[in-house]
Amino acid sequence: MTIGIGDAGSAGGPLVAGFSDVVVAQIVRRACSAGFERWWSRVANAGYCARPVQLTGVDVFGREHHVLGRCKNRRASVCPSCSDLYAADIWQLIHAGIAGGHHDIPATVSAHPSVFVTLTAPGFGAVHSVHTSASGGARRCHRERGFRPDAGGAVAGVRRCCHGKSLWCTDIHASVDAVVGEPLCRQCYDYTAQVLFTWHAPELWRRFTIAVRRGVAKALRMRGEDPIGVRVSFVKVVEMQRRVVPHFHAVIRLDDADADGAVAIPETSLDAAQLAILVRQAAALVRMEIPGPAPGNSLVVLRFGSQIDAQPLTAAESGSIAGAESGAVAGAGVVSSTAAGVGRRVAGYLAKYVTKSVAEFGLTPHRLSPEAIDTLDVSEHVRTILSTITVLAQQRGYAPMLRWLHTLGYRGYVTTKSRRFSITMGALRDRRARWRADHTQHLGPDNDPVCGGAEVRVADASAVSGWEFRRVGHVCDGDRLLAISAAVRAREHRWVAREEHAAQVAAERYSIAA
């Protein structure tokens, strides 16, 4: 299996088996060095992080200690190991909030009225898309039908814009096609509206959550129930569509507000189906009026798209959870018929998005200068978005946009949740750190380096003081490639272990039933 490291050939020289000979020489030099075992132990203790943080400290005896810590970056393009761990933590967080039974969340949470929601952006122009028919087969991108008048009022032909571009595409695109998400006519595409939507998307989400709470309270009052006794909890994950605009996946749940901080079943007659109706109504009513970017322009109204999907998360009413691509919400049937299956499938569906980043569009996760836009290896669609951001940043009130140029104008968090939906990321990390401390404190340096080795010796050196930051990242590309390769192998081993464990459990259940 060949594993790339992004800029492996940046050191120069011919490529050997996919890597430059310089990188291969670095790997051989590291593997043959006298301190390889000690270095490898530190890399293993850092979880095979591709971009570790190195700290140095001195104990009371004057001995220097070197520690590698995880970068904790969620982006798979930066560190596959840390992003995999981050996605696993998000899975735990979401699954606990849907199915319960772990992380101090009771299993009765699965009986709460819950809804899976997908909120997309409105249309800013025709784009190449992936379409499926009602029977599940593939359909053409845009069919040839209808007429459109030109600028003079005469019929210009079959589906042509005022710029003479055809507004049809007879190709059947796959989801991996580079053209998916690209406008059919860039001159007709409203890039300014898309950038404004991306910039104000966090505020739209905040207003949506307020509208949901008000809608639930109004529905409870109409039923003669106490609206103060019900609390709305949620978790939200943001995904960048192929047309490079954010949309939201969320799980919204009703809880008992009078449970003294605990998660309890709300005393209400509202069920998941009725909550889904309230969520759709709230999403359709949310509006945000902002001044036009140019002086003297009228107000610009921002809202969510018309393709709003809200599915109840109950075993009896489980629908299909949609994957939205290019603004289309299509049922994917990822919810199983059991409450446990609902929690696992929804948590896995949402967790896979948190590791994505702008690297899929050719950008780096670092701040970007406007002068570098013309030199980037990106599509013209992405380049036009970046250019639009720089133009809008010159208008009054939009100067901060330049700070978020590398995120294509999105300035919000990828994952957010209400306080009591589930366990926090900090609590998950603290529990993992305590577990590692409990399982490694009695191991010697000859044990598996993931569980013992340098981490044990450093932990025993409690008198180490004056930790100082040394660097971020490995010394060379060869070291980084070794760490990434080990991270991939560790992930494969985990998957094999899970499959073997599931097969063993199934065999034991079968033998008991027989």
* Residue spans of alpha helices (H) in 171-320: 191-222, 272-285
Going by pLDDT thresholds of 50, 70 and 90, the confidence category of residue 455 is very low
pLDDT for 291: 83
Rounded-to-integer distance, Cα 367 and Cα 61, Å: 42
pLDDT mean over 264-285: 93
Asked whether residue 220 is assigned to any structural domain, the reply reads yes
Residue 21 pLDDT:
83
The pLDDT value given to residue 66:
81
Query: In 407-476, which residue ranges form alpha helices assigned H by DSSP?
Result: 425-440, 454-460
Helix (H) or strand (E) holding 155: strand 155-158
Q: What is the pLDDT of residue 144?
A: 60
State percent of the chain over pLDDT 90.
38
At residue 448 the predicted structure's pLDDT band, cuts being 50, 70 and 90, is very low
pLDDT digits (tens, 9 = 90+) for 468-510: 888 899 989 999 999 999 999 998 998 899 899 889 888 888 8
Q: Which residues contact 468 (CB under 8 A, 6 or more apart)?
A: 55, 56, 57
What is the pTM assigned to this prediction? 0.81
User: Is position 68 within any domain?
Assistant: no
Domain annotation covers residue 355: yes
Q: What is the DSSP letter of 166?
A: B
131 φ/ψ sector (left φ>0, alpha ψ -120 to 50, else beta): beta
Q: Please state whether 134 falls in left (phi above 0), alpha (psi between -120 and 50) or beta.
A: alpha
Q: Hey, CA dihedral for 14, 361, 50, 410, is it positive or negative?
A: positive
Is residue 88 included in any domain, yes or no? no
Average pLDDT of 121-146? 73
Q: What is the rounded distance in angstroms from the CA atom of residue 371 to the CA atom of residue 482?
A: 35
Residue 325 banded pLDDT, cuts 50, 70, 90: very low
Q: Is residue 369 part of a domain?
A: yes
Question: Is residue 202 a part of any domain in this protein?
Answer: yes
Residue 377 lies in a domain: yes
Alpha-carbon gap, residue 18 to 441, rounded angstroms: 41
Averaged confidence pLDDT in the chain? 80
Query: For residue 463, what pLDDT is reported?
Result: 61
- The answer on pLDDT for 20 being more than 50 is yes
More confident residue, 247 or 448: 247
| Structural domain containing residue 240 | 106-130+173-417
Residue 352 falls inside a structural domain: yes
**Number of domains comprising the chain:** 1
